[in-house]
Amino acid sequence: MHCFAGLMACFSILVTPHAQTADLLETRSAGQIAGLANALSLPDGVIPLDFGVAKYRVTYTMDYLGEPFEVSGALFVPVDDAGEAIACAMPTHTYMHGTIFRRIDAPSYNGFEGQLGFIMATAGAVCLMPDYLGLGSSDDVLHPYCHAASEAESGLAMLAALVALQDELGVGLNGQHFVSGYSQGGHASMAMAKRMQEDSDAGFPLAAAAPMSGPYDMSGTQLPVGMAAEQYSNPAYLAYILLSWQQTYGDIFVELSEIFQEPFASGLPAMFDGDTSGEMINAYLEGPTASIVQPGALEGLMAEDHPFFLAAQDNDLYQWVPESPIQMYYCTQDEQVFYENALVAESWMNTNGAQSVATIDGGPLDHGGCALLAILGGTLWINDQAALCTPFSVEARSNQPLTWRSSPEGTEIQGLQHGETWTLYGVDGKTIEQGMSTGQRTLISPPQGLSILLGSSGRRIRLAVD
């Protein structure tokens, strides 16, 4: 049963809270994960392919509007050759997925982003991917799209479920908790990072976060710029926000026809049934914005006293001062989530006293082209800071790590051994530069943006050049 067609106000169907569960979906060896990395054109050696990974579907409960709902998520656990969780205390990496419309596209079902969990966990971290409320196995409520509080809750509640399942799964945790996410997941990961800092009682202190291409400034950047476009690339996003915020706040509109012209006002609610794709909704709404919405409706929504504008402000996520490292990724030709969101967030946070907030410009790529580059960059950045489990010997782990710094002569790499060869890769896998260390300092010329230097010893370092 769905509550959508009657205009989203229905909440009569709630689940009864029960204990969290974990169902094994599949296990992949390190070799199989290497095949996935190759299919994604990831440079060899950039991501340590140290462990096999078991994927579980976790079901758990979370709160939304004061009521408990059952939700699901994908859990990726590094395993040994016998398929058992490795005997090591591991960090967690919670990855928040981007916009989806169909429940089956969630990470614990058929979603592409769920494949990336194998890449994120094989290096020696437990990876969590919430499906979000209203997606995955959750079918009794519309997904509260770009609603910061429920996004954060889906992640924190899944971390709590993991702790409760530790003994059953044989998983050890080291207390480091990282967060990342792309697109809507950028918004969700920023929401979760903020909640982790502000809610110390939750017991999951934030180690660092890598939000990517997210709409952190809903009220001042994302919505005004999108609404001003003569033809926005993804009009389904606006409908998603309007319907889900109506469900959440209850006062965005009385009738959808106040905002959308016919036949859209009558036809749209039924399309948000959890089975219709975003491509179909965008095709339904194809055309100039002026032919879809009522004259003056968008301007009215953004009036400072309108409930929609107040809801947008409630879901802004840049006006806080992170105490842990935050690194935001964006691309300048993003036609869906405007890159100014990241610049607004960085400026506000640093102006107000943040000490470790930065942005990384991925270059002139669109939203789709930016995705894998940013996700890989964020994962490498998190792996650099995390106390990952490793199968290597204590002696191998004691090798001097590679470091880099800018100098007047170029970018200097420190820590390469005498005679060690190295290769500088772009995140697209293409070789940029190669050489051999003489045992003294090594100067390279990395391009602007992200790149990875891999030494023949297997050590690697990620470079981010402005």
- For 378-392, how does the pLDDT look when each residue is reduced to its tens digit (9 = 90+)? 999 999 899 998 875
Interval 57-67 mean pLDDT: 97
Report which of 377, 368, 437, 370 is spatially closest to residue 43, judged by C-alpha positions: 377
**Residue 283: which H helix or E strand, with range?**
helix 278-284
Report which of 352, 358, 399, 384 is spatially closest to residue 452, judged by C-alpha positions: 384
254 vs 231: CA distance, rounded Å: 25
Pick 97 or 438 by higher pLDDT. Answer: 97
- pLDDT per residue as tens digits for the range 78-135: 999 899 999 889 999 999 999 999 999 999 998 999 999 999 999 999 999 999 999 9
Interval 333-340 mean pLDDT: 96
Domain boundaries, given as residue ranges, for the chain: 21-217+316-385, 219-314, 399-465
When the pLDDT of each residue in the chain is averaged and rounded to a whole number, the result is: 89
Q: What is the pLDDT of residue 48?
A: 85
Pick 403 or 189 by higher pLDDT. Answer: 189
pLDDT range class, residue 8, cuts 50, 70, 90: very low
pLDDT range class, residue 400, cuts 50, 70, 90: low
76 vs 194: CA distance, rounded Å: 24
| SS3 category, 152 | helix
Q: What is the pLDDT of residue 15?
A: 34
Say if residues 119 and 91 touch (Cβ distance below 8 Å). Answer: no
Q: Which is the CATH superfamily of the domain at 21-217+316-385?
A: Alpha/Beta hydrolase fold, catalytic domain (3.40.50.1820)
The answer, yes or no, to whether residue 16 has pLDDT greater than 60, is no
Q: What is the pLDDT of residue 14?
A: 32
In this structure, which amino acid lies at residue 216? Y
- pLDDT per residue as tens digits for the range 268-290: 999 999 999 999 999 999 989 99
Class of domain 219-314: mainly alpha
The answer, yes or no, to whether residue 17 has pLDDT greater than 50, is no
Residues 6+ apart with CB under 8 A from 56: 22, 23, 24, 25, 74, 75, 76, 77, 169
- pLDDT per residue as tens digits for the range 202-224: 889 999 999 999 999 999 999 99
